[in-house]
Structure 1
Amino acid sequence: MMSPSQFFCLLVLWAQESSTAIVMAQTPASLPVTLRETVTISCRASQGITNDIAWYQKSSGKPPKLLIYEASSRSSEVPARFSGSGYGTDFTLTISPVEAEDVAEYYCQQYNQFPLPQ
């Protein structure tokens, strides 16, 4: 059985770990797009995550599709018009040129720290 001081130390460690959760901020929230133009979506991590980020596409009625992993590696069968870049805290997803089938929601997800947010 743990002594009260051991329990307190564990509790303090847990509280410190949970307070340093990585927060991802994506911009813009939405934007009007013209076909054949270049679109860039940015994602900023609240702390450095090296290149541990993925970009997903969510089309209506379909499960999320992995586009980019490790910040810049394109998933199989993803067209070359999708590219990712960045390292540390600042990342971008670029679509160039935008096609009609690209109309969807896009989001970034860090996987540097677990558990991942729901």
Structure 2
Amino acid sequence: MAHDVIGRVPESIKGHLLITGITVTQPEVLTVSEGRDVTIVCKTDAGIDSWGLACWYLQKPGEAPKLLIYYTSSRQSGTPSRFSGSKSSKRDFTLTISGVQTEDAGHYYCQNVHSVSGGYVFTQ
């Protein structure tokens, strides 16, 4: 699933937004047995500078997306410790769920923030 959509903009980067044609690709569907570990990889089609960041969201049917991970690896308050985020390369970010639970089912979205020519690019 590829996205090129503006998402929620953190207060710290408002006023510094630059939109480009960067595409983020995630797997369409992952089926995992309860208790197993799962890793979701978010791939971008452009090299991200060394401080590029990712946010991860979980959306359940009929609900707004809920922020799980910000600044690539920081858990949002209330996010269970089984969720962790990391940057595996200049182009790839990962979300790992250690011991997935049935309540973890839903749509997962990644969002990238990085700099271009002194501005910021915010892609979902």
Q: In which range does the TM-score fall when normalised by the shorter chain?
A: 0.7 to 0.9
Give TM-score, length-normalised by structure 2. 0.71
Amino acid at match of 2:31: P
Among all aligned residue pairs of Structure 1 and Structure 2, give the percentage whose two residues are the same amino acid.
44
- The equivalent of 1:22 in structure 2 is 22
Alignment of 1:1-20 (within 5 A): none
- The 8 Å contact of residues 112 and 123 in structure 2, kept in 1 or not, is answered as no
> Could you report, residue by residue, the CA deviation over 1:52-88 in whole angstroms, capped at 9, with x for unpaired residues?
2100000011110000011111111100000000053
Alignment of 1:95-110 (within 5 A): 95-110=97-112
Query: Equivalents in 2 of 1:37, 1:70: separation in Å?
Result: 25
What is the RMSD of the two structures over their aligned residues, measured on CA atoms? Answer: 2.1
Q: Which has the higher strand share?
A: 2
How far apart are 1:36 and its partner, in Å? 0.5
- The structure with the largest alpha-carbon Rg is 1
Aligned residues: 100
For structure 2, list consecutive stretches of 5 or more residues without a partner in the other structure: 1-17
Amino acid at match of 2:65: P
Give TM-score, length-normalised by structure 1. 0.74
Structure with larger RCO (C-alpha < 8 A, sep 6+) = 2
Alignment of 1:1-118 (within 5 A): 21-26=21-26, 28-46=27-45, 47-49=47-49, 50-86=51-87, 88-112=90-114, 116=122
For structure 1, list consecutive stretches of 5 or more residues without a partner in the other structure: 1-16
Q: Which has the higher helix share?
A: 1
Query: Equivalents in 2 of 1:115, 1:67: separation in Å?
Result: 20
Query: Equivalents in 2 of 1:91, 1:112: separation in Å?
Result: 13
Query: Equivalents in 2 of 1:24, 1:63: separation in Å?
Result: 20
Query: Equivalents in 1 of 2:82, 2:58: separation in Å?
Result: 14
